[in-house]
Amino acid sequence: MTDDVKVLFLGGKGRSGGTLLANLMGQIPGFCNVGELNRLWDSGLVHNRRCGCGLPVQQCPTWTAILDDADARLGGTPLTPLSKARIDLDQSAVVRWPRLARLLRARVETRDRWDALERYTTATSAVYRSIAKVTGAKVVVDSSRLPFEPVALGLVPGVDLRIGHVVRDPRAVVFSWKRARVFTDRDTGEHLPRFGAAFSTTSWLARNVIVEMLRRRRPSITVSYDELARDPGKVLRELADLMGEPAGDLRFLTSDAATLVPTHSVGGNPVRMISGAVVIEPDEEWRHGISARDRWVSTALALPLLHRYGFPLRALGEAPEATLPTAARPRAY
């Protein structure tokens, strides 16, 4: 028996169903979904954007209690209060692609040789513990996705880490990142960034390679977007099993719909703000919507991993119109 906090880290590329998955996991008693915890520092504590419950993070009673508890744990250190400590600056100094080699070499025992890493991981460790204490959760669900976040690399003390590897066809990911979408956690009408096929696929490839490396060291399972859309209950049970906790009766879920209560997610795509009745179905629009050029670029760049994940070279443009989601139905991801 250990005091470590069980963390389910969803790793992989964004637009692979991870936000919906985290939201669904957060409906299970004993599981607390905090969304992309790596957005707490800038989105939550600097910009005070909305929590999944609809309130600004710093006005959300749950997050206020978590941050107060974390401040008490960190008492006497220069990190308090966390709301003023600008941990986002340490985070942006550490969590960068050019720092990847140094991050991969880092160890918990030698964190003190890298000040920004020590500050960031110490603050993060306190927050995970406080989430568990304040919410009473047995498992914290963190959908940060970026696989070289220090927690995913085992650099955050006091965390019992297990990994859900979210995987989706790279051509669907490319199509999704080109869509116009509006942030729902701010009132500015600001759009999410959009990226081209080469960037999205290269990022898909690099992130999946790193998650594969992490999986050699940690308990993990693969979560396929298509399986999540087809049989969410099965995926939720497998993940609960990975965490060594019961999934319960999943009464909020049928094979193609869920009734969601809001969770206290601090970051993630606009889906995280959705609650109430949600349709769960595969989003197949990309199969006929993606341009020939993007399809070719993405297939060529992703080739080394396509076969590994069972994605065919072709199988595009075959979705009959009747299977497409209608605009009137809330799309869950």
Query: Does residue 239 belong to the site contacting Zn ion (CB under 5 A)?
Result: no
Which 3 state secondary structure label does DSSP give 123?
helix
Query: Considering beta carbons, is residue 35 or 164 the nearer one to Zn ion?
Result: 35
Do the Cβ atoms of 197 and 174 come closer than 8 Å? yes
CB of residue 262 to Zn ion, shortest distance in Å:
7
Query: Considering beta carbons, is residue 49 or 162 the nearer one to Zn ion?
Result: 49
CB of residue 33 to Zn ion, shortest distance in Å:
11
Query: Does residue 50 belong to the site contacting Zn ion (CB under 5 A)?
Result: no
Query: Does residue 145 belong to the site contacting Zn ion (CB under 5 A)?
Result: no
- Provide Rg for the chain, Cα atoms: 19
80, 108, 211 from 4: Cα distances, Å: 22, 14, 22
Query: Considering beta carbons, is residue 264 or 287 the nearer one to Zn ion?
Result: 264
Residues 243-272 within binding reach of Zn ion (CB under 5 A):
264
Crossing angle for the helix pair 61-73 and 115-135, nearest 10 degrees? 130
Angle at 282 between CA 196 and CA 321, to 5 degrees: 90
CB of residue 62 to Zn ion, shortest distance in Å:
5
Q: Round to whole Å and give the CA distance between 66 and 128.
A: 9
Sort 226 into a burial class: Cβ within 10 Å, 0-12 / 13-18 / 19+.
middle
CB of residue 83 to Zn ion, shortest distance in Å:
15
Residues 56-85 within binding reach of Zn ion (CB under 5 A):
60, 62
CB of residue 63 to Zn ion, shortest distance in Å:
6
Which 3 state secondary structure label does DSSP give 112?
helix
Query: Considering beta carbons, is residue 39 or 264 the nearer one to Zn ion?
Result: 264
32 closest CA partner among 130, 129, 131, 127: 131
CB of residue 91 to Zn ion, shortest distance in Å:
21
Query: Considering beta carbons, is residue 29 or 310 the nearer one to Zn ion?
Result: 29
CB of residue 29 to Zn ion, shortest distance in Å:
18
CB of residue 82 to Zn ion, shortest distance in Å:
16
Q: What is the maximal distance between C-alpha atoms in the chain?
A: 62
Query: Does residue 53 belong to the site contacting Zn ion (CB under 5 A)?
Result: yes
Query: Does residue 51 belong to the site contacting Zn ion (CB under 5 A)?
Result: yes
Query: Considering beta carbons, is residue 62 or 135 the nearer one to Zn ion?
Result: 62
Query: Considering beta carbons, is residue 52 or 147 the nearer one to Zn ion?
Result: 52
Which 3 state secondary structure label does DSSP give 166?
strand
Cβ neighbors of 78 (< 8 A, separation 6 or more) are: 85
Report the phi/psi class of residue 168: left, alpha or beta, with left for phi > 0 and alpha for psi in -120 to 50. beta
What x-and-dash track marks residues 8-47 binding Zn ion by CB under 5 A? ----------------------------------------
CB of residue 53 to Zn ion, shortest distance in Å:
3
316 closest CA partner among 300, 302, 299, 328: 299
Sign of the CA dihedral with 165 first, then 168, 174, and 177 last: negative
Q: Round to whole Å and give the CA distance between 179 and 283.
A: 13
Query: Considering beta carbons, is residue 40 or 51 the nearer one to Zn ion?
Result: 51
Query: Considering beta carbons, is residue 95 or 141 the nearer one to Zn ion?
Result: 141
Could you tell me which stretch among 8-16, 49-57, 186-194, 239-247 binds Zn ion (CB under 5 A)?
A: 49-57
Which residues contact Zn ion (rule: CB under 5 A)?
51, 53, 60, 62, 264
